[in-house]
Amino acid sequence: MCYQVQLPSKEGQRLKMKIITGNANPDLAQQIAEHCFATLVPANVSTFADGESSVEFLENVRGEDVFIIQSTCTPVNDSVMELMIMIDAARRSSASRITAVIPYFGYARQDRKSASRTPITAKLVSNLLTTAGADRILTMDLHAGQIQGFFDIPVDDLTSRVVFAKDIKRSIGWRDDPEVQQQGTVFVSPDAGGVVRARKFADMFGGDIAIVDKRRPEAGKSEVMNLIGDVKGKHAILVDDIIDSGGTLCNAAKAIMDAGAISVRAYITHGVLSNEACQRVEKSVLDELVVTDTIPNRCPKNCKKTRQVSVSNLFGEAIRRVTNEESVSSLFV
């Protein structure tokens, strides 16, 4: 499984599109624009003295295919509000189509009622974005696939799998080292909900899968990690969509090493990495944690075990295809 990037040449016909960024992840937006041979629309995206968001585009977007890039990451509520205001500004500026490019979709973990009197906030945010004027959503590795159904507009949910696969082959020498191939690679899901993700990785590499079954025997007791599958004498790779505090991941890594794995790495799309997560990873048995740049790097420079790989190329190609009315799903076929 691979994808092939076919970006327009500088000499080629100019794509009739405009790329705008908020304050959540401007570095990623800049890289995406460069891949599309475009420049970011100059805009003032700021706050008033009382904390209200203020947006003004400094370039005409009338009749343009507008892509607004904004991960709804920390500060989450500010990022969401900023995105909605930018969408409204583009709509009132007569943009022909508005695509909200949301590399990391915050509130995605609130996709169901967890108790009797709780909201489904992922659905609420979906409604707000549609009401604001978005015509299309472009995102990556939604926490739950059914969130696509929360929207009444088209949603393209990209996957980091193709980007991670290249890095895995390079980092553990999977392609060139016969010893690594002989030892084997096992892809581990940190919970039952991620089995499909682990299986897709395993299918790409011809490897096996394992599942970490975490249970809390009773209130106040620490979690017990039960490993389902064989990892002994193999290189284990944990795959997931989000790392937040890092506690579950580090405990899972320890359980894997205790079961006889040669090494354990983690490839996780969205590095939320709240509070002391980076330090927790640094002290763990993990050889390495690899995340994408859907969220700006939150780890201090002295955290050597955590690194980022960029998905800007993938988003740039997806934007080109949306503009040219080409298939986006064929990126992963």
Q: Mapped to the 3 state alphabet, what secondary structure does the chain carry?
A: CCCCCCCCCCCCCCCCEEEEECCCCHHHHHHHHHHCCCCECCEEEEECCCCCEEEEECCCCCCCEEEEECCCCCCHHHHHHHHHHHHHHHHHCCCCEEEEEECCCCCCCCCCCCCCCCCCHHHHHHHHHHHHCCCEEEEECCCCHHHHHHCCCCEEEECCHHHHHHHHHHHCCCCCCHHHHHHCEEEEECCHHHHHHHHHHHHHHCCEEEEEEEECCCCCCCCEEEEECCCCCCEEEEEEEEECCCHHHHHHHHHHHHCCCCEEEEEEEEECCCCCHHHHHHHCCCCEEEEECCCCCCCCCCCCCEEEECCHHHHHHHHHHHHCCCCCHHHHC
Write the CB contacts of 194 (distance below 8 Å, at least 6 apart in sequence): 239, 240, 241
Task: For residue 175, give both structure tokens.
Answer: 């392609």
Q: Can the peptide bond before residue 178 be classed as cis, meaning omega within 30 degrees of 0?
A: no
What residues act catalytically? 214
Q: Which residue has 């790989």 as its token pair?
A: 309
Q: How many CA atoms lie within 13 A of 310 on its CB side?
A: 12
